[in-house]
């Protein structure tokens, strides 16, 4: 099916259809990987299958759909990214990092199992991601598979999410020798562009690679992904201030307790909301060249800005 005969779908329907497909594909991928320990297998499933909006896979699928790629073709790259995201959450929740008991409304992996198992489950998902990307079913062209591997590695590693997480821990004043990122707007933006923005950027890049996007189309998606990355984090900061733990599915109020600078602290609640509105407009504009094919991605920008969990 091409984008031309793709049936119109509302964003909630498209998100839920994608989330179901992602859960089924993750379940199969973990089973195929055959972890030798049943406990490890169950912990990996707990980390990967306990709910979640599946926003990053949705962005992969919809970015690829801009180029007429059906969901099934984009799904392997989409679940590879979700494996990395789920690993990062399992590790972030550990006592050595955020020390959280609740994630996606369920006990965190180390609470449901133990710390060593949670670390290994995260490691298992991280490596599974790259195994999936290496498989020919991900893309028939080896050059595209290598580009996907390189893009995800850069996004997840020391120059991306892991680097951002390190800056975030430094912002709490944990390391005497590591320096602290400046507690101003530029410092917070840089930290967040790495910690959470990098995987969102990879999501759109992966879809563009699978869709064989031309450089100008790649650039438009890159702009969109940067803008929604910023919106995602501002919305997250607002949830930390105003959200309800039951609805959010995790503890709230942790940023101010840790004394961290956030967008909301620097802009104020009204300023943060105004910035979100501006960013939603910018995200729409970035994809204007794709016409109605980009409607779901444009609506996703508003969803990200207004999300309640
Ligand atoms: C431990 C290597 C390592 C990295 C951790 C992403 C991250 C870095 C930590 C997550 C902590 C956190 C709550 C960050 C705020 C933004 C964020 C990633 C929220 C969770 O993402 P959603 O809202 O979650 O997409 P779901 O559950 O819907 O998948």
What is the spatial distance between Cα 211 and Cα 68, in angstroms, rounded to a whole number?
Answer: 7
Query: What is this structure's pTM?
Result: 0.94
Rounded to a whole number of angstroms, the distance between the first and last alpha carbons of the chain is 33
Mean pLDDT of 96-109: 96
List pLDDT tens digits, range 35-89: 899 999 999 999 999 999 999 999 999 999 999 999 999 999 999 999 999 999 9
- In this structure, is the dihedral angle defined by the CA atoms of residues 218, 224, 230 and 236, taken in order, positive or negative? negative
Could you tell me the residue ranges of all domains in the chain? 11-306
Is the distance from the beta carbon of residue 92 to the nearest atom of ligand 1 less than 6 Å? yes
Q: Which residue's CA is minimally distant from atom 10 of ligand 1?
A: 89
Question: Is pLDDT at 1 greater than 60 in this prediction?
Answer: no
List pLDDT tens digits, range 231-268: 999 999 999 888 766 666 666 667 666 667 899 989 99
Both tokens of 119, joined, read: 């670390």
Highest CATH level, class, for 11-306: mainly alpha
- Helix, strand or coil, per DSSP, at residue 122: helix
Mean pLDDT of 159-178: 91
Is the distance from the beta carbon of residue 108 to the nearest atom of ligand 1 less than 6 Å? no
Cα 89 to averaged position of ligand 1 atoms, centre (Å): 5
Beta strands in 116-269 (DSSP E): none
What is the spatial distance between Cα 29 and Cα 134, in angstroms, rounded to a whole number?
Answer: 13
Q: Which of 22, 92, 24 is nearest to 56 (CA)?
A: 22
Q: Which of 282, 278, 276 is nearest to 305 (CA)?
A: 276
pLDDT category at 8 given cuts 50, 70, 90 is confident
Please tell me the predicted confidence (pLDDT) of residue 3: 46
Cα 87 to averaged position of ligand 1 atoms, centre (Å): 10
Please tell me the predicted confidence (pLDDT) of residue 125: 98
Question: Is pLDDT at 107 greater than 60 in this prediction?
Answer: yes
Our measurement of the distance from residue 137's CA atom to the centroid of its chain's CA atoms, rounded to an integer in Å, reads 22
- In this structure, is the dihedral angle defined by the CA atoms of residues 220, 78, 81 and 300, taken in order, positive or negative? positive
Q: Which residue's CA is minimally distant from atom 7 of ligand 1?
A: 88
Is the distance from the beta carbon of residue 161 to the nearest atom of ligand 1 less than 6 Å? yes
The CA distances from residue 258 to 98, 252, 261, 262, in Å, are 10, 12, 9, 11
- Helix, strand or coil, per DSSP, at residue 138: coil
Please tell me the predicted confidence (pLDDT) of residue 14: 98
- The residue whose two tokens read 């099916």 is 1
Please tell me the predicted confidence (pLDDT) of residue 173: 85
Is the distance from the beta carbon of residue 83 to the nearest atom of ligand 1 less than 6 Å? no
Q: Which residue's CA is minimally distant from atom 29 of ligand 1?
A: 52
What is the spatial distance between Cα 182 and Cα 34, in angstroms, rounded to a whole number?
Answer: 45
The CA distances from residue 144 to 133, 163, 250, in Å, are 10, 25, 37
């Amino acid at each position: 099916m091409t984008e031309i005969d793709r049936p119109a779908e509302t964003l909630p329907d498209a998100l839920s259809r994608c989330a179901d497909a992602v859960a089924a594909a993750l379940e199969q991928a973990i089973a195929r990987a055959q972890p030798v320990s049943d406990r490890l297998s169950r912990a990996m499933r707990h980390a990967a299958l306990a709910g979640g909006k599946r926003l990053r896979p949705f962005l992969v699928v919809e970015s690829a759909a801009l180029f007429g790629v059906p969901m099934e073709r984009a799904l392997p790259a989409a679940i590879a990214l979700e494996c990395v995201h789920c690993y990062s959450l399992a590790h972030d929740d550990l006592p050595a990092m955020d020390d959280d008991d609740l994630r996606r409304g369920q006990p965190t992996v180390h609470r449901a199992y133990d710390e060593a198992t949670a670390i290994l489950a995260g490691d298992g998902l991280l490596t599974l991601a790259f195994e999936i990307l290496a498989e020919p079913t991900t893309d028939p062209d080896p050059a595209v598979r290598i580009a996907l591997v390189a893009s995800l590695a850069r996004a997840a590693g020391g120059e991306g999410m892991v680097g951002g997480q390190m800056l975030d821990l430094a912002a709490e004043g944990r390391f005497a020798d590591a320096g602290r990122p400046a507690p101003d707007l530029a410092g917070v933006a840089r930290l967040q562009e790495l910690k959470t923005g990098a995987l969102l950027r990879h999501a759109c890049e992966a879809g563009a690679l699978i869709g064989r996007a031309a450089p100008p189309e790649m650039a438009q998606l890159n702009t969109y992904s940067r803008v929604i990355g910023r919106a995602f984090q501002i919305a997250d900061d607002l949830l930390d201030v105003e959200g309800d733990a039951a609805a959010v599915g995790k503890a709230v109020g942790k940023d101010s307790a840790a004394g961290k600078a956030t967008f909301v602290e620097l802009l104020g609640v009204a300023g943060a909301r105004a910035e979100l509105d501006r960013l939603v407009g910018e995200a729409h504009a970035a994809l204007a060249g794709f016409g109605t094919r980009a409607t779901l991605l444009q609506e996703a920008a508003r969803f990200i800005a207004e999300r309640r969990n």
